[in-house]
């Protein structure tokens, strides 16, 4: 190939950026366009990580280094399937990688799931992270709240609900989020898991950090800290599992202090029904479970009704279908083999690949996505070498921007992101914090384009001076 290998990557979260990085590190001459629906890049890192987790948000710095490379171009504010179709991309690139992630919530299949006050964790995360696609306000009138699930997202949701608004004021939360959290009535938050402590999906650091607030006391009932043979083996074979269990045991045996809010972590309690009156949540009924010796659980027939005014399900994210791309609606992933997208006949659709959560489901840590990307890119390069890539009619880098211009799509570039980034940092600096997010879509676009408009005006002024 006498020209650079042209690849479109749809989605600029960690999965898309890691796939782009793998392409640029392949030793090939490549030209990658990162196509993003939102006005800002970084996906999960910007809109899926709790604002009081600056350590995880530090990943943005490493993603920045990748996106600074000249072989990579960001085309944000561009919706795949609307502004650019798969058929159009197939005429412009040698390959297309779908890395759209997972933002929806899996269902909690119990009676009462349709009651007002029952929320998906992802919806709440979208609210407090300032995602412009999610509500600007939230009902936080419940004094007691239940969170179903024992993963890090459940910890994030529970911690945000249990903390005070002033504790979160130092983070990047927008004004509307701070104002809403200042009205939060929650004093008790209960996390429920149906299995035992050895099966919890927390990571040790996040679980330990849960106790860092001067206003929140973490409580674990001692009777829930039980293990069967499979649990004991899990502790012996996994340092992470043992650390999680050790931290939980520490919470279970200590005395309570005078911190005003309580955050309870319950194990062996399986949600059986969301209770309600007049269409609203009034409680959660759980069935007590017992360990079966092999790492599973069985019901005991003993039920407990917990008085709560809201229920949040943190039972997993779910990917949404992607226009014109095959989708497995039961597994909520794009059917694929090692990243090669498979059609209805089970054969690889030429030139089409996938990576990240939409490829394998929303499991694992952010770092696991690198291995995903490497696998997908290896398959893509093998196919190109074997002559199984696409045969684009217009592979030049200018063709896609000409098409977007012709359609009137106001796409944003990496330089435009820097303008929005600088504006958000200036907003934060004025209040003594690192950043304050802009929430409204139109304002994000306007602030992103501000630097470009200034540059155009400056160039025009220079031309005028030269003409004189």
CB-based contacts of 19, cutoff 8 Å, min separation 6: 9, 97, 99, 355, 356, 373, 376, 377
Whole-number pLDDT of residue 451: 66
Evaluate whether residue 375 is within a structural domain: yes
Asked if residue 98 and residue 114 are part of one domain, the reply reads: no
How high is the pLDDT of residue 463?
Answer: 59
- Is residue 251 within 8 A of residue 219, CB to CB? The reply is yes
The whole-number pLDDT of residue 368 equals 77
Looking at 380, 395, 412, the residue that finishes a domain is 412
Picking from 297, 317, 337, the residue at the C-terminal end of a domain is 317
Question: Which of the residues in the chain have pLDDT under 70?
Answer: 1, 451-468
Task: Flag whether 130 is in a domain.
Answer: yes
Do the domain assignments include residue 277? Answer: yes
- Shared domain for 338 and 311, answered yes or no, is no
108 and 252 assigned to the same domain: yes
Query: SS3 sequence, the chain?
Result: CCCCEEEEEECCCHHHHHHHHHHHCCCCCEEEEEECCCCCCCCHHHHCCCCCCHHHHCHHHHHHHHHCCCCEEEEECCCECCCECHHHHHCCCCEEEECCCCCEECCCCCCCCCCECEEEHHHHHHHHCCCCCCCCCCCCCCCEEEEECCCHHHHHHHHHHHCCHHHHCCCCCCHHHHHHHCCCCCCEEEEECCCCHHHCCCCHHHHHHCCCCCCEEEECCHHHCCCCHHHHHHHHHCHHHHHHHHHHHHHHHCCCCCCCEEEEEECCEEEEEEEEECCEEEEEEEEEEEECCCCCEEEEEEEEEEECCEEEECCCEECCCCCCCCCECCCCECCEECCEEECCCCCEEEEEEECCHHHHCCCCCCCHHHHHHHHHHHHHHHHHHCCCCCCCCCCCHHHHHHHHHHHCCCCECHHHHHHHHHHHHHHHHCCCCCCCCCCCHHHHHHHHHHHHHHHHHHHHHHHHHHHC
Q: What is the CB neighbour count within 10 angstroms for residue 104?
A: 15
Provide the domain limits for residue 163.
104-317
Same domain, 251 and 297: yes
3-state secondary structure 345-370: CCCEEEEEEECCHHHHCCCCCCCHHH
CATH number of the structural domain spanning residue 361 = 3.40.50.720
Contact between residue 215 and residue 166 where contact means Cβ atoms under 8 Å apart: no
> So what's the pLDDT on residue 253?
96
Residue 443 lies in a domain: no
Q: Is residue 465 part of a domain?
A: no
Domain match, 227 and 309 both: yes
Contact 432, 171 (CB under 8 A): no
Tell me, yes or no, whether 467 lies in a domain.
no
Rounded CA-CA distance 225/252 in Å is 8
**Using an 8 Å Cβ cutoff, are 51 and 163 in contact?**
no
Q: Are residues 53 and 114 in the same domain?
A: no
On whether both 126 and 95 belong to a single domain, the answer is no
Q: What's the CA gap between 87 and 124, in Å, rounded?
A: 35
Note whether 10 and 72 are same-domain residues: yes
Is 131 domain-assigned? yes
The CATH number of whichever domain residue 135 belongs to comes to 3.50.50.60
Please state the domain count of the chain: 2
User: Looking at the domain assignment, is residue 36 inside a domain?
Assistant: yes
Query: Are 41 and 153 contained in the same domain?
Result: no
291 and 324 co-located in one domain: no
Q: What is the pTM of this model?
A: 0.93
In terms of domains, do 24 and 172 share one?
Answer: no
Name residue 318's beta-bridge partners: 104
């Amino acid at each position: 190939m006498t020209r650079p290998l042209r690849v479109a990557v749809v989605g600029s979260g960690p999965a898309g950026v890691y796939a782009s990085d793998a392409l640029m590190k392949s030793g090939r001459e490549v030209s990658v366009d990162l196509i993003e629906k939102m006005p800002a890049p970084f996906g999960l890192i910007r809109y899926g990580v709790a604002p009081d987790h600056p350590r995880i948000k530090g990943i943005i710095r490493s993603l920045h280094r990748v996106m600074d490379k000249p072989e990579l171009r960001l085309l944000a504010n561009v919706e795949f399937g609307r502004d650019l179709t798969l058929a159009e991309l197939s005429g412009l690139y040698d390959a297309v990688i779908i890395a759209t992630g997972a933002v929806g919530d899996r269902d909690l299949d119990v009676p009462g799931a349709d009651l007002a006050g029952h929320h998906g964790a992802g919806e709440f995360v979208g609210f407090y992270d300032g995602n412009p696609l999610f509500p600007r306000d939230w009902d936080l009138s419940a004094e007691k709240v239940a969170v179903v699930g024992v993963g890090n997202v459940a910890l994030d949701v529970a911690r945000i609900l249990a903390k005070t608004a002033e504790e979160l004021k130092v983070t990047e939360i927008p004004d509307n989020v701070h104002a809403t959290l200042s009205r939060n009535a929650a004093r008790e938050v209960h996390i429920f898991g149906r299995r035992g402590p050895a099966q919890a999906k927390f990571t040790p650091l996040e679980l330990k950090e849960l106790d860092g607030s001067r206003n929140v006391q973490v409580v674990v009932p001692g009777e829930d800290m039980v293990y069967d043979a499979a649990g004991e083996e899990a502790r012996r074979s996994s340092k992470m599992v043992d650390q999680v269990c050790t931290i939980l045991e520490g919470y279970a045996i200590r005395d309570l202090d005078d911190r005003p809010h309580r955050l309870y972590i319950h194990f062996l309690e399986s949600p059986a029904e969301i209770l309600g009156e007049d269409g609203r949540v009034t409680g959660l009924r759980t069935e007590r479970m017992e360990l079966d010796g092999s790492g599973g659980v069985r019901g005991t027939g003993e039920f407990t009704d917990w008085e709560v005014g809201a229920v949040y399900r943190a039972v997993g994210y779910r990917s949404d279908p992607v226009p014109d791309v095959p989708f497995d609606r039961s597994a909520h992933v794009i059917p694929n083999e090692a990243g090669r997208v498979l059609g209805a006949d089970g054969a690889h659709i030429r030139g089409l690949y996938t990576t990240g959560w939409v490829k394998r489901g929303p499991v694992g840590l952010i770092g696991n996505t690198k291995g995903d990307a490497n696998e997908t890119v290896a398959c893509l390069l093998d196919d190109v070498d074997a002559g199984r890539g696409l045969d684009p009619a217009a592979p030049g880098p200018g063709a896609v921007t000409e098409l977007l211009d012709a359609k009137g799509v106001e796409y944003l570039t990496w330089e435009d992101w820097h303008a929005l980034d600088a504006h958000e940092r200036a907003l934060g600096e004025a209040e003594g914090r690192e950043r304050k997010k802009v929430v409204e879509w139109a304002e994000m676009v306007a602030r992103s384009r501000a630097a470009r408009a200034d540059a155009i005006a400056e160039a025009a002024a220079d031309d005028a001076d030269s003409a004189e």
